[in-house]
Homo-oligomer: A and B are copies of this chain.
Amino acid sequence: MTDVPDIVVSRLPVYLRALQYMVINGKSTTSSQELGEKVGISAAQIRKDLSQFGEFGKQGTGYNIPFLIDSLLQILKVEKVWDVVLVGMGELGHAILRYQGFVNRGFNIVACYDSDPLKIGTKINNYSILDVKDLVKDAKKAEIKMAMLCVPASSAQKVTDLLVEGGVLAILNYAPLSLAVPTYVRVQYIDPVIGLQRMAYYLNK
């Protein structure tokens, strides 16, 4: 299954999230039509995407939601929880650290880092802010594979190089610039302005 297009992979977490809401709302079966309406993707596309990974639905009865959720959790490798480090403890880093929505969806922030001597050693919730100088050593020792990067744009590449040196393979980057990484490292970008600009294109002034 290594040749599944990334665009298909990108939709699986969206299906998973919608299915998990359906369970919360007491549903146990659904159809590609119903799921499609929830996520704004055609039923045909959903069936095609899921068929790349096996047989999940029966004609006439649709999808068993708990089974499909379990399958997606396994496909996405989030049936267990990944340890994640957070670098950059400005206002955004604080908001991310306090956000309750990671661990129940597969990700646990295990440590947070900053370079500011005034912040290092202070506590937020149950976390002590650690010195970014220890990042490489700590990440190697704990075999950390994922990181969230919330540092200013001016230091984002430098910290990225440290993450890569520490063995991190996946970076969620909140800094508003493209990062240079080796081909075996993945980056996903969160830049609200990119989303706004993409929508502005379709507006009439």
- List A residues at the B interface (Cβ < 8 Å): 9-10, 12-14, 16-18, 21, 37-40, 75-78, 80, 82, 84, 91-92, 94-96, 98-99, 101-102, 105-107, 145-146, 148, 169-170, 172, 176-178, 180, 186-203, 205
CB of B82 within 8 A of CB of A191, answer no
* Minimal Cβ-Cβ distance residue in B for A193: B105
CB of A193 within 8 A of CB of B10, answer no
A132 to chain B, nearest CB (A): 20
- Chain B residue numbers with a CB within 8 Å of A99 are 91-92
How far, in whole Å, are A132 and B190 apart by their CA atoms in the complex? 27
A7 to chain B, nearest CB (A): 9
- Chain B residue numbers with a CB within 8 Å of A21 are 177
Q: Report how many copies the assembly holds.
A: 2
How far, in whole Å, are A105 and B192 apart by their CA atoms in the complex? 11
A202 to chain B, nearest CB (A): 6
CB of A177 within 8 A of CB of B80, answer no
- Chain B residue numbers with a CB within 8 Å of A148 are 192, 196
CB of A203 within 8 A of CB of B169, answer yes
CB of B178 within 8 A of CB of A199, answer no
- Chain B residue numbers with a CB within 8 Å of A203 are 77, 82, 145-146, 169-170
Contact for A197 among B37, B105, B197, CB less than 8 A: B105
A-B residue pairs, 6 tightest by C-beta: A188-B195, A170-B199, A13-B197, A91-B95, A13-B194, A105-B193
CB of B200 within 8 A of CB of A170, answer yes
How far, in whole Å, are A170 and B80 apart by their CA atoms in the complex? 36
CB of B199 within 8 A of CB of A186, answer yes
Contact for A106 among B37, B39, B193, B202, CB less than 8 A: B193
